[in-house]
Chains A and B, each alone.
Chain A
Amino acid sequence: MTMTAQSCDSGTGPVGLRWETVCRLDRLQPGRGVAALLGGRQVALFRLPGAFGDEGADDVNSVVYAIDNIDPCSGAAVLSRGIVGDRNGQPVVASPIYKQAFSLLTGRCLDDPAQEVEVHKVRVVDGWIQVELS
């Protein structure tokens, strides 16, 4: 996951990293996820209201998270279909298969320390969501 720690503003970053444009931000409903197919990779994107209870969060205020879509506990590509929320203030998604919670910040599974998913950097440019991939 070291790649996600890198900062990068242009279309091409350090060796092997690039920003992939996915879709318009308004395709994502606040509080819910979607799946995206980026090359051979499935990514789950979640849009959370930026401010608390801010249902109509605009581009600036809403926060978008990206993690791998495949649930390591079941092997099914379903994390985008989980319910998002928070656990002790940390944004999480609960796998819809066996309900384990994954941190949207770190990808760690909060119910099974042996499991984690990859986290990807996300930015919104002119209303378009971009995900950083290797």
Chain B
Amino acid sequence: MNTKTLVIVGHGMVGHRLVEAMRSRDEAGQWRIVVFGQESRPAYDRVSLSSYFEGASEGELSLVADDVRRDQAVELRLGARVVAVDRDAQTVRTASGQTRGYDTLVLATGSYPFVPPVPGRDLPGCFVYRTLDDLDAIRTAAEAAVARGDPGRRSGVVVGGGLLGLEAARALRLLGLSPHVVEIAPRLMPVQVDEGGGALLRRLVEDLDVAVRCGVSVQSIAKGPRGRGLVAALSDGIELDADVVVFSAGIRPFDQLARAMGLPVGERGGVLVNDYCRTADERIYAIGECAAIAVRGAVGGVGRTYGLVAPGYAMAEVVADRLLGGGATVTAADLDTSTKLKLLGVDVASFGDAHASTRGALEVVINDPVAGSYQKLVVSDDAKTLLGGILVGDASRYATLRSLMGSKLPADPVAMIAPGGVAVGADELPDSAQICSCNAVTKGTLRAAIAKGAHDVPALKACTKAGTTCGSCLPTLKLLLKQSGVTVSKAVCEHFACSRQELFQIVAGTGIQTFSELVARYGSGRGCDICKPAVASILASTGACGSHILDGEQATLQDTNDHFLANLQRNGTYSVIPRIPGGEITPEGLIAIGEIARDFKLYTKITGGQRIDMFGARVEQLPAIWRRLVDAGFESGHAYGKALRTVKSCVGTDWCRYGVQDSVSMAILLELRYRGLRSPHKLKSAVSGCARECAEARSKDFGVIATEAGWNLYVCGNGGFRPRHADLLAADLGTETLVRTIDRFLMFYIRTADRLQRTAPWLEAMEGGLDHLREVIMDDKLGICAELDAAMARHVAGYSDEWRGVLEDPVKLARFNSFVNAPGTPDPTVEFVDRRGQRVPVGYDRGSQRVLISGPTLQVAGK
């Protein structure tokens, strides 16, 4: 069999979907695929573009899996723009002059941003919002503006108040600019919402410090006074200062290639294709935003383009089917323009005939400006069939209503949208109801996947692709799992059927102070190495002020590290880390640590958290080592605990030429405030004195970065196995607000996280994500902030050094023995060898031969 060549022009979301569809279906290997992408990057998730500014990396946004990169049948040519097609010779030619033959050509060229022809639109500081390169350029300009020395707010003008414009406004806000949205239509998102919905949307958006001007256009852009920034002149005579101008006034299909080769195009642009995406040339197809598709009965008419990803994906799947001999067609349902979005944290949904253009259609509206909710249904003239709707502020009914579209309503339309009205659960939806509109996954498909063993959300995502694009259907996926009888066990272990969060509530609510009472009343058995330390941590967080983690029965719950207040190493010895707040240490302190390490023959190493680790201490040596450390003014560094570890810092304004705030003092303040705080997992922090970020604060659970005006707070980052940059929670905070916000963040995490769940996965699992977190700890949406503040105040007041507590208590001290019947005798199995002038444990292969990685006589230069 001859292999045929499929050339795809454009490697965006839709182009890549075609690659994936072909590779998963073309089992016989009939097709070799060559993809030309104009951008230097392979396909990425354009729907989530603005998350790039929230810390999503290029890698996280990428849609191209490793197996595709390695796939021999796929040739990806990036940075290669196709400039001409020779239909007779069946070849494409790139800008660099390369040509390539095809058997079938698919145009997936997408669209380009429309920039209104206003004078000054090409000035530096003017951008469009389409690609990662655009975002990089916007970021550079915004950072330059923020870093500028002169006083005043930094602002950005967004031209266009549609879906993309509001996304761009959000992006500018994340970059520290005050966004100003200018929309030529009388309301925001004119395509998706009506006048009433638009009015509420505007109010909700303005509440989020985004200025909005509707019904005006931008007349010109000019350079600002003294050459700084730009000035946008509006049609109503107003002039807006802007450091950045972003044009997001709509998109136009990129159909130049088709026009040049003489293929017919639609009235409003786009390559004309039939209902299986074929152009007038039987060897050429077009899919995605560049295709003007003719499907009978499609909402909005025949031969129009679609700027949403779901119709594009449907087209890609149909073309793959056709190329492999199938007969699929794109249906009107595939071209559904329903959208549900969370824009700037505001829910907006629009589906079906949202503007009631059907003959005789009736509109039923419940507009509650107090609750911030606008709900509109469009129904047939007999008020029985649902045709479409608009939901603003609260789109929780979207999945249900959308799937009922075109069918008889189960109740009176008012009851369907009234507060406390009829609740149609996912179980009442027909199997044909589409749950994930981005990937056209129906309830039936999901139920089949669950029946085949996909028993959690990640498994469902992997096998159906549902929830992998915009994510708005994830709550419904969870609901379906629940209704299918799949219970995702959150049990801590075999002894407790409840989750850590529930255990925390039980302990806090009942005031139970011992593990034995807790396991007797709420668990079973004797406990284990999973639940005991978890409960110990909860007891430490809820316990009485001044209690010690080794008091009474609590001592038996602790992991060996907490039990001996040191870190167990592989040969059974421990390492010791005294606290060095902010990484600041006096010469006397350094000398004391040096002398102690020398006297006890401890191996020393500088840690990543700006302190000093001393290795090789035997259990019975720990009290003597700590006696000397405490006498020298040191205290426990809690390196052994699921607790605050360190708050790193750069040197800040005291020394640095670039520092804008005193990062060292702030780091010390934070480290002393949160020292000893027990949490579900370790906590790390850092403070940087300027935007250069030398302290690497964005890789921490909470990181603080100085700005001219105060402090930016980033949360839920980590290094380690799955690195994640922290997200900006709040900008330009004063010290008091910063500390209060961190207090609440930490206490909310301690109360609600799972066992051993660090802050990053905790945030990822949180419904509503960062916006929800912000609402809880900054806007007090749940009304728990006073409680969180009080809990932290108790912690701060109750802190005392754990090692001093041991040294002062003979009962606790008595546990630090090598052998109960030979207290001073060292463990005879502990042996050391020399490594570069220090002692390290003998090699791994204990029982048999000693394995030395390098000999004990390794010479160090200069010795």
Contact = CB atoms under 8 A, between A and B. Distances in A.
Given A53-B516, A85-B525, A35 B571 contact: no
Given A37-B825, A81-B563, A96-B559, A74 B529 contact: no
Interface hub of B532, B570, B820 (most chain A Cβ within 10 A)? B820
Interface in A104-130: none
B570 A74 contact: yes
A29 B552 CA distance: 9
A83 B520 contact: no
Contact of B572 (A36, A52, A78): A78
Contacts of A34: 817, 819-820
Nearest to A89: B525
Interface in A1-45: 22-23, 27-32, 34-38, 40, 42, 45
A29 B560 contact: no
A35 B572 CA distance: 12
B847 interface: yes
B571 A36 contact: no
Given A76-B570, A83-B533, A96-B568, A52 B560 contact: no
B809 to A, nearest CB: 14
Nearest to A77: B829
A55 B516 contact: yes
B818 interface: yes
Contacts of A92: 528
Given A53-B520, A78-B568, A83 B559 contact: yes
Chain B contact patch, size range: 35 or more
Contacts of B555: 29, 32
B489 interface: no
A37 B570 contact: no
A23 B559 contact: no
B519 interface: yes
Contacts of A42: 819, 827, 829
A94 interface: yes
Nearest to B527: A85
B610 interface: no
B821 A37 contact: yes
A84 B558 CA distance: 10
Interface string A62-74: 0000000010001
Interface in A76-106: 76-78, 81-89, 91-92, 94, 96-97, 99, 101
A118 B821 CA distance: 20
Given A55-B516, A75-B846, A85 B529 contact: yes
Contacts of A49: 516
A48 interface: yes
A31 B519 contact: no
B433 to A, nearest CB: 44
A82 B560 contact: yes
A35 B568 CA distance: 16
A87 B825 contact: no
A76 B829 contact: yes
Nearest to B519: A53
Interface in B832-847: 844, 846-847
B560 A78 contact: yes
A76 B448 CA distance: 50
A89 B571 CA distance: 31
A48 B821 contact: no
B148 interface: no
Given A75-B846, A85-B525, A87-B494, A32 B556 contact: yes
B821 A36 contact: yes
B341 to A, nearest CB: 45
B368 interface: no
B504 interface: no
Nearest to B619: A81
A114 to B, nearest CB: 14
Contact of B556 (A30, A78, A96): A30
A26 B818 CA distance: 17
B520 A52 contact: yes
B543 to A, nearest CB: 17
B281 interface: no
A29 B558 CA distance: 13
B259 interface: no
Nearest to A55: B516
Contact of A37 (B568, B571, B819): B819
B861 interface: no
Given A52-B526, A55-B553, A87-B528, A22 B829 contact: no
A5 to B, nearest CB: 25
Please list the 7 inter-chain residue pairs (A to B) with the smallest Cβ-Cβ separation, ordered nearest first. A75-B846, A85-B528, A31-B556, A94-B529, A76-B572, A96-B560, A83-B529
Interface of A: 22-23, 27-32, 34-38, 40, 42, 45, 48-49, 52-53, 55, 70, 74-78, 81-89, 91-92, 94, 96-97, 99, 101
24 contacts: A31-B553, A32-B555, A34-B819, A36-B819, A48-B526, A52-B526, A75-B846, A76-B572, A77-B572, A78-B560, A78-B568, A81-B568, A83-B558, A83-B559, A84-B556, A85-B525, A85-B528, A85-B531, A86-B526, A86-B527, A87-B528, A96-B560, A97-B568, A99-B529
Interface of B: 494-495, 514, 516-517, 519-520, 525-529, 531-533, 553, 555-561, 563-564, 568, 570-572, 619, 815, 817-822, 825, 827-830, 844, 846-847
Given A42-B829, A92-B528, 14 more contacts: A22-B821, A35-B819, A42-B827, A53-B516, A77-B830, A81-B560, A81-B568, A81-B619, A83-B556, A83-B558, A83-B560, A85-B525, A86-B527, A87-B494
